[in-house]
């Protein structure tokens, strides 16, 4: 028996975690359990990010998605989980329609993926070189236009590598505006019917 | 098993991304809880992110189909925008809950408040 390629073993592990918990999110009826399964699935995706060489993005996924966005969803679940809303089931006819749509979409996507295989052969040397260079520095330099991954390109002015500083600033302002707006939208509104608390 | 003894290629990552995407789409169509629909949206965005990161990985170095660091930049922006969009969608869901005392999307069938 040939030796186990541990990279592939860990890929299989994280891929199974991701897919099984994603299917569990779809199948489960309890909204609180769906939130837990989503956390597990997104942690699996973070593991896949680390395996494919995007270390900074994997850490970002854990911090922002698992530790931020999903916690926000759990807040929403906890604020609205009363009695009949914790487990709501859809009728069988709707399930048939949804699975038909999802199944045909999955068939089309998998067939497209099957045509990608002849294009690429895995290059182990490049993978090991990339593993030795953390992407944090490369991403930070790439934001301002110093692209370390496109070193051998022509120095022609029209083909200079571009940075991502403007989109970065735009999404920073966008995030601020959206969070202020969401906090304002979801504020606790004073009801007109109640008399003053102080009498 | 062939998968355990050979290095994993690009198409394996794309298959996982496709499964995540389809799970998210089915979740969006089938869930009656508005927050369940939001979870479907998160699954869709993660499937797309996995695709971007797979195409930007080092095994595509020097290939015409490789994205280099661009894929990781795009995935970074998608994560931030997904967080912003989840915040707004959650605020809307909470307003709906405050006004109608239900989080069931099947009850949201009238345009008048």
Task: Parse chain B into domains and list their residue ranges.
Answer: 2-105
Interval A42-68: pLDDT, tens: 999 999 999 998 999 999 999 999 999
Q: Do B73 and A164 count as a contact with CB atoms less than 8 A apart? A: yes
Residue of B nearest to A148 (CA): B69
Interval A134-172: pLDDT, tens: 788 888 888 888 877 766 655 565 566 778 999 999 999
Q: Which residues have a Cβ under 8 Å from the Cβ of A13 and sit 6 or more positions away? A: A47
pLDDT at A197: 46
CA B86, CA B2: separation in Å to the nearest integer?
Answer: 40
What is this model's ipTM? 0.93
Q: Average pLDDT in the B7-21 region?
A: 91
Class of domain B2-105: mainly alpha
Q: A7-83 adopts what CATH topology? A: 1.20.120
Interface test with A, best of B1, B3, B8, B97 (most A CBs within 10 A): B8
What's the mean pLDDT when you consider all of chain A? Answer: 85
Please say whether the beta carbons of A17 and A43 come within 8 A. yes
Interface test with A, best of B63, B91, B104, B107 (most A CBs within 10 A): B91
Where exactly are the structural domains of chain A?
7-83, 134-151+159-186
Terminal-to-terminal C-alpha distance of chain A: 83
Which chain A residues are closer than 8 Å to B65 by Cβ?
119-120
pLDDT at A189: 76
Q: Do B69 and A130 count as a contact with CB atoms less than 8 A apart? A: no
Q: Do B7 and A124 count as a contact with CB atoms less than 8 A apart? A: yes
Question: pLDDT exceeding 70 applies to what percent of chain A?
Answer: 80
C-alpha distances in angstroms, B27 versus A71, B47, B53? 19, 13, 23
Interval A53-106: pLDDT, tens: 899 999 999 999 999 999 999 999 998 888 888 888 888 899 999 999 999 999
Q: Do A2 and B32 count as a contact with CB atoms less than 8 A apart? A: no
In 3D, which of B6, B34, B28, B8 has the Cα closest to residue B105?
Answer: B34
């Amino acid at each position: 028996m040939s030796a186990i390629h541990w990279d592939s073993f860990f890929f299989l592990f994280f891929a199974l975690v991701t897919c099984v918990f994603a299917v569990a999110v779809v199948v489960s009826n309890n909204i609180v359990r769906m939130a837990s399964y989503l956390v597990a699935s997104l942690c699996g995706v973070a593991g896949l990010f680390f395996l494919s060489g995007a270390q900074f993005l994997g850490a970002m996924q854990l911090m922002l998605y698992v530790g931020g966005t999903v916690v926000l969803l759990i807040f929403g679940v906890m604020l609205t989980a009363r009695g009949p809303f914790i487990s709501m089931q859809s009728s069988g006819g709707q399930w048939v329609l949804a699975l038909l749509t999802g199944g045909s979409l999955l068939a089309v996507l998998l067939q497209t993926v099957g045509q990608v295989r002849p294009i690429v052969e895995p290059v182990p040397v490049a993978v090991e070189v990339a593993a030795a260079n953390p992407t944090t520095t490369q991403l930070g330099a790439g934001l301002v236009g110093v692209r370390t991954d496109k070193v051998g390109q022509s120095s022609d002015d029209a083909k200079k590598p571009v940075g991502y500083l403007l989109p970065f600033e735009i999404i920073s302002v966008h995030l601020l505006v959206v969070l202020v707006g969401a906090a304002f939208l979801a504020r606790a509104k004073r009801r007109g019917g109640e008399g003053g608390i102080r009498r | 098993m062939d998968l355990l003894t050979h290095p994993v290629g690009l198409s394996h990552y794309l298959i996982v991304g496709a499964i995540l995407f389809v799970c998210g789409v089915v979740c969006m169509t089938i869930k009656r809880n508005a927050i369940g629909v939001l979870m479907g949206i998160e699954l869709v965005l993660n499937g797309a992110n996995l695709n971007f990161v797979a195409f930007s990985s080092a095994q595509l170095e020097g290939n015409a189909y490789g994205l280099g660091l661009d894929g990781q930049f795009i995935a970074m922006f998608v994560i931030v925008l997904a967080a912003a969009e989840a915040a707004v969608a959650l605020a809307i869901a909470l307003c709906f809950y405050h006004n109608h005392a239900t989080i069931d999307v099947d009850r949201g069938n009238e345009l008048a408040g």
